[in-house]
Structure 1
Amino acid sequence: MLSAGAIAAGVRAGELSPLAVVEEAVDAARRLDSVLHFLEELDAGTALRLAREVDPAGLLAGVPFLVKARTPPESPILERLLAAGAIPIGTATRARPGPGSQTYGWNGREYTRNPWDVKRSPGGSTAGGAAAVAAGVVPLATGGDSGGSLRIPASFCGLVGFKGTYGRVPRAVGRGLGGLTTAGVIGANLGDVMLATSVVSGPHRLDPTALPHWPVPILAEGPWRVAYLPTLSQYAADPAVDQLIRNRLSVVDVIDVPLKLLPTDDAWQVLSALDAGRGVAAADVQRARAVRDHNHTALADLFNVVDALVTPTTLTVAHGYDQYDENIIVGDPCWAFNVTGHPAVSVPVGLLDGLPVGAQVVTPYGDDATALAVAKRLLVELPRPGIVA
């Protein structure tokens, strides 16, 4: 599958048929879903109809994509992708509702598998979308990130997962009381993710307090000063993951700067309950707010010295497709930046025993462009996985 940018450019130039592109994606989805189990539902009829009707002038004209299951149909992200000419071919798996780790996908019968190794999970909760993008079925998939749901699968599958500053992409439910979730996309190409994020950004009638429209930035070249932390808590990264990322950091200037964040586990649970409309004691809310305020200040002090903070996105490579409970802390580096709302992007930085390793780049609140610029410097182009369209 071509990149989203290349597809749209080809459609605009009359060199590509949107119908042919979508037919290819639908065919690939049918063939590979029996192995990877990434689909909740394939809607070929609607996809082919939209392909015949697409306006070739759209910024994403003819680009097939998958929608994360249980995404409200009125979501601004869907409305704006459709308006730009992108074509949904169906819905992709996510984890089952409920507590516990969300780093897997489930279609009601089978676990979603990772194209790099079908014994492994693609991560989650944007599981099916990540598996399909990594396999080359579609160049983009939608998701939401409350605790790493875009970044964790990006790390496991060797993709780009971008959680913009809180409010970067409007949501159908508007601004949550807890302020954890940012809608977004996952893609195989950094430029595609930036373009799609720009297309869907800006206030919407359902979320008028979303941040202003975000034009696609021209990424600066650096040089970049970064702080690197292999962990943000008591949970250590796999030494081999840590070493691979340290080796990749030779392309930037690493500065040793202390950072002391308060643990975010309890605060995240309280804020998640607020977002879900569940009752929370006032004292718990105050404690969560104190954690958020302390960590905001600590990060502001850090970013007075460096341009970005880099961490492993996940503490290990992809775990077994059904081993999420045993690996509940694998996405521990992600949670803190949902609590604070900072921009964070995961990009692949290499392979470990044939499985992707992702590095997470975090920058000051609102400075999404620097996060992406540093991520571009760190990004390593990976070979294709074992299963591809």
Structure 2
Amino acid sequence: MEEALERIARLDPELCAFIEVWGEAAAAQETSPGLPLAGLPFGVKGPSGIRSYSARRLIAAGAVPVGSTAVPGPGTYWQTWGLGAHGRTVNPWRPDRTPGGSSAGSAVAVAAGMVDLATGSDGAGSVRIPAAWCGVFGLKTTNGLLPSPDRTGLASAGVLTRTAADARAYLACVLDGYAEVPLQFPLRARWSPDLGFARTDPEVESVTLAAVERLVSAGIVRLDERPFALLDPKDAWQAVRRGEPSAGSAPRGENDRRLGALFAQAQLLLTPATPNRPHGHEGPGELYSTALTWAFNLSGHPAASIPAGFTSDGCPVGLQLVAARDADVSLLEMAVAMERHTIMVRP
């Protein structure tokens, strides 16, 4: 705890990952040494994060919240941004770029080593995008698996950690009856650089494809080489968000059919986590950073981002892993096996 609070005090004035830091309360917290996460410092997403189901379960397991992490500030129409107590949240790899969002501060706090674990929530990619852009692991759980205040059903609870293995503690605490799932390799997988509609940056595609090829060479995955595409979920997602789910029912239903057919034959769908690299603090322009993530908020599938490498200008890139509904534990174990072979090498 002392080390976490020292790092926050030293690094946060520059990185702006926290809205509030509860240093005195955290340092004074006494937990039973018999609890599984006794004394583990963690961050909670946003001002209301401490009331989330996940935070309450982590606290019950002995973990200690050290502060609330930055989310987009007022008047910011894009969500790949954060506003902390000291100013705008910056990417720890490229301070001139955003860290992604809306779980911006959670990703930065983990990437900078201020905490080992931070909670997030993901309604369109809000865990996976900052995980990808900050070079950490991020997991979106199956929609509805854990309680969520989002009435649209798009958002689900998630977590950000340095490695996939570190996220086991989170799932073990928030899921009743958690048990690790043995895997047989190679995993059956499909690859899509753009899901058939996204304008993926060629270098982002190259970095993620190279990571997939390393996984194939290592015997972790076996690719079905057939192309895979979905219908662009933009209009359907926005309709659900407006409270008009019937307006997007046709493309949503078709995507559900295609994903059902895919997961009847494969264990994983692999894509870049984002079609773009981290953008500047002035905003993303016309690009949708959510283009490759929000389809799975509509469909409800669990999805994760693992570090895949860097672009030539020093920006982290994430590889997205999508699994069948309710296969959260299996997905996490797949990520643990895979991240050993997607080592990040900075140019």
TM-score with structure 2 length normalisation? 0.91
State the percentage of identical aligned residues: 36
Count how many residue pairs are aligned between Structure 1 and Structure 2.
338
Q: Does residue 231 in structure 1 map to residue 194 in structure 2?
A: yes
Shift, 1:290, TM fit: 2.9
2:7 corresponds to which of 9, 28, 37: 28
TM-superposed CA distance for 1:73, in Å, is 4.0
1:66/1:92 contact within 8 Å kept: yes
The residue number in structure 2 matching 1:343 is 302
**2:194, 2:160 → 1: CA distance?**
24
Alignment of 1:202-351 (within 5 A): 213=176, 215-250=178-213, 251=215, 252-274=221-243, 280=244, 285-320=245-280, 322-326=281-285, 328-351=287-310
Q: 1:70 and 1:219, CA in 2 relative to 1: closer, same or farther beyond 3 A?
A: farther
How far apart are 1:178 and its partner, in Å?
A: 2.4
The secondary structure found in structure 1 opposite 2:225 is: coil
List gaps (5 residues or longer) in structure 2: 216-220
Displacement of 1:101 in angstroms is 2.0
| Partner residue in 1 for 2:95 | 118
Structure 2: distance between partners of 1:216 and 1:33 = 36
Structure 1 residues 119, 263: CA separation in 2 closer, same or farther (over 3 Å shift)? Answer: same
In the TM superposition, what is the alpha-carbon distance from 1:219 to its structure 2 partner? 4.4
> Take 1:187 and 1:255, find their aligned partners in 2: how far apart are those partners?
30
Letter in structure 1 aligned against 2:45 = K
Does 2:62 align with 1:102? no
Are 2:195 and 1:185 equivalent residues in the alignment?
Answer: no
**After superposition, what is the alpha-carbon deviation per residue over 1:220-278, rounded to whole angstroms, capped at 9, x for unaligned?**
1421121111112533211122122222222222212343422211111122233xxxx
Q: Deviations over 1:5-51 (max 9, x none)?
A: xxxxxxxxxxxxxxxxx12111111110111011101111111121x
Tell me whether 1:60 sits opposite 2:23 in the alignment.
no
More divergent stretch after superposition (287-296 vs 220-229): 287-296
**Distance verdict in 2 for CA 1:158–1:235, change over 3 Å:** same
Q: 2:13–2:86: 8 Å Cα contact kept in structure 1?
A: no
- Partners of 1:102 and 1:324 within 8 A in 2: no
- Whether contact under 8 Å (2:239, 2:247) holds in the other structure is no
**Conservation of the 8 A alpha-carbon contact between 2:82 and 2:104:** yes
SS of residue matched to 1:88: strand
- Which of the residues 101, 119, 136 maps onto 1:159? 136
**Alpha-carbon distance, 1:365 to partner:** 1.3
Structure 1: 5+ residue stretches without partners:
1-21, 202-212, 275-279
The answer to whether the 8 Å contact 1:142/1:186 transfers is: yes
What code does the residue aligned with 1:296 have? D
The DSSP-based 3-state class of the residue aligned with 1:66 is: strand
Query: What is the distance in 2 between the residues matched to 1:33 and 1:68?
Result: 15
C-alpha root-mean-square deviation of aligned residues, in Å? 2.1
